[in-house]
């Protein structure tokens, strides 16, 4: 009834304005467009409805973003969107550039962010809870993802895309070694056994390329109540035996020579370059990678004569629960058009209609699938599955994500998380800095627990946030 009334009221206002013949009359709108209601929140504007200008900044694919904006403007012809290209870089560099721009007095109406607490600290983020909570489309966002970026009753960011972590497996060298390919629904015990079977450190043959990060992922594979790095929705649980198990596996597999850790001198001797990548040289069987890189790595390996598959992350006793990395988008606190800015954010991030437009654009441009929706949109997911079929294993990852089996990370939205991992662990304030390698995980766990909890509580307090 609220939506019907809102649209009816907007139609009445439209008729009144038309009768008056004055398109610049100050009006109050409920919702942002005819046929679309963002709830009962109202906004007053003295600008004509065909003369709204919004700015947008992102580190995404520029060509795709431009076409997404064109499609948005076609749907909302009264909105002109300017892409702000003065905010440069990606990830943390982009966020730093954004903060510098804000200090100079210019903030885009809508922007992506590498760290939501930084946006809060610098007073860049608008509370979009009134729009999100009244938007029926947000009910389709997966619950464990929708709960991020929220602080008490305040929502300072919307989850935009999820990127999946999986396992790139070099099928060519697997077959050359006389080993059988695993099933898609493999377990992490089977993955580790396969890595050990392939490894021969004396010949610089390794089961894994680079870090494993099992302490962050194994707890959620064996206990469905735990998330990334043992996060349970309220706190981390480092003393949990599953975290200790993952930590020990990280160390053990490095010590066994199953994980590639060649020095520059060794690479120079074996491959002729200190900067060589043993994985692309065919000396590592598997690499845990993110979907943002996968299509490009697969193409690189084809050039090198290798066939890769992107296996879903293996299962534990709780089944196949897929680690995912989330990106976030923010409406500026300084925007003059919060409702319209929310519509732009929605279109460029989590919205189903925007995703349908994005898929058409990806197909038109021949761009690969690297990111996925954060909501339950069966038609969109099926189209993405078809679009991703040229990479073996990617459709299987999509099937698991569609079931809501993604386990989101916490580093971009949880206050205090980065202060712990990026600052405190290596700081002079930390009496354990430099000693971790000589300590058991049983000894490390309570230290992590104490200081992570302290830094999270301090960050919430300093930012004036509620849990």
Q: What pLDDT, in 10s, does the model give residues 268-296?
A: 999 999 999 999 999 999 999 999 999 99
Task: Work out the average pLDDT over 67-94.
Answer: 95
pTM of the model as a whole: 0.87
Give the number of other CB atoms < 10 A from CB of residue 457.
13
Burial class (CB in 10 A: 0-12, 13-18, 19+), 3: middle
d(CA 201, CA 205): 5
- Report the range of poorest mean pLDDT among 97-101, 190-194, 204-208, 236-240: 97-101
Mean pLDDT for all residues in the chain: 89
| Residues 6 or more apart in contact with residue 202 via CB below 8 angstroms | none
Q: Is it the case that residue 21 has pLDDT exceeding 50?
A: no
Residue 434: the pLDDT is: 86
Q: Is it the case that residue 377 has pLDDT exceeding 60?
A: yes
What is the pLDDT confidence band of residue 104, given thresholds at 50, 70 and 90? confident
Phi, psi (degrees; rounded to nearest 5) at 192: -65, -40
Phi, psi (degrees; rounded to nearest 5) at 149: 80, 10
What is the pLDDT confidence band of residue 75, given thresholds at 50, 70 and 90? very high
- What residue segments make up the domains of the chain, in order of their start? 1-49, 417-463
pLDDT digits (tens, 9 = 90+) for 399-413: 999 888 999 999 999
């Amino acid at each position: 009834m609220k939506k019907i009334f809102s649209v009816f009221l907007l139609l009445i206002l439209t008729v009144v304005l038309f009768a008056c013949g004055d398109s610049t009359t100050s009006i109050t709108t409920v919702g942002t467009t005819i046929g679309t209601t963002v709830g009962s929140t109202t906004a007053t504007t003295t600008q004509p409805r065909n003369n709204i200008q919004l700015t947008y900044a992102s580190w995404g694919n520029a060509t795709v973003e431009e076409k997404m904006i064109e499609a948005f403007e076609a749907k909302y012809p009264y909105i002109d969107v300017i892409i702000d290209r003065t905010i440069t870089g990606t990830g943390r560099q982009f966020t730093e550039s954004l903060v510098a721009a804000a200090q100079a007095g210019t903030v885009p109406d809508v922007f992506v962010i590498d760290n939501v607490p930084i946006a809060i600290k610098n007073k860049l983020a608008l509370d979009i809870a009134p729009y999100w909570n009244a938007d029926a489309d947000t009910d389709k966002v997966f619950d464990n993802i929708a709960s991020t970026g929220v602080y008490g009753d305040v929502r300072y960011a919307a989850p935009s895309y999820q990127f999946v972590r999986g396992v790139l497996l070099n099928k060519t060298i697997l077959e050359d070694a006389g080993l059988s390919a695993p099933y898609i629904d493999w377990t992490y015990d089977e993955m580790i056994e396969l890595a050990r079977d392939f490894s021969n450190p004396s010949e610089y043959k390794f089961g894994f390329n680079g870090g494993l990060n099992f302490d962050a992922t194994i707890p959620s594979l064996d206990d469905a109540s735990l998330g990334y790095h043992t996060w349970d929705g309220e706190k981390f649980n480092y003393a949990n035996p599953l975290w200790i198990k993952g930590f020990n596996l990280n160390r053990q597999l490095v010590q066994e020579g199953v994980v590639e850790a060649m020095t520059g001198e060794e690479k120079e001797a074996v491959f002729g370059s200190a900067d060589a990548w043993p994985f692309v040289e065919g000396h590592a069987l598997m690499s845990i990678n993110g979907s943002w890189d996968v299509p490009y790595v697969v193409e690189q390996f084809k050039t090198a004569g290798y066939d890769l598959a992107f296996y879903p992350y293996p299962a534990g006793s709780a089944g196949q629960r897929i680690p995912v990395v989330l990106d976030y988008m923010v409406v500026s606190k300084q925007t003059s058009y919060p409702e319209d800015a929310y519509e732009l954010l929605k279109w460029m991030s989590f919205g189903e209609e925007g995703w349908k437009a994005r898929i058409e654009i990806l197909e038109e441009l021949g761009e690969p699938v690297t990111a996925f929706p954060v909501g339950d949109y069966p038609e969109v997911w099926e189209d993405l599955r078809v679009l991703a079929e040229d990479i073996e294993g990617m459709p299987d990852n999509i099937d698991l994500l569609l079931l809501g089996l993604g386990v989101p990370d916490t580093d971009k939205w949880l206050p205090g998380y980065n202060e712990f991992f990026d600052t405190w662990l290596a700081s002079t304030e930390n009496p354990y800095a430099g000693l971790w390698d000589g300590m058991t995980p049983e000894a490390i766990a309570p230290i992590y627990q104490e200081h992570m909890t302290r830094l999270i509580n301090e960050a919430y307090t300093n930012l004036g946030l509620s849990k």
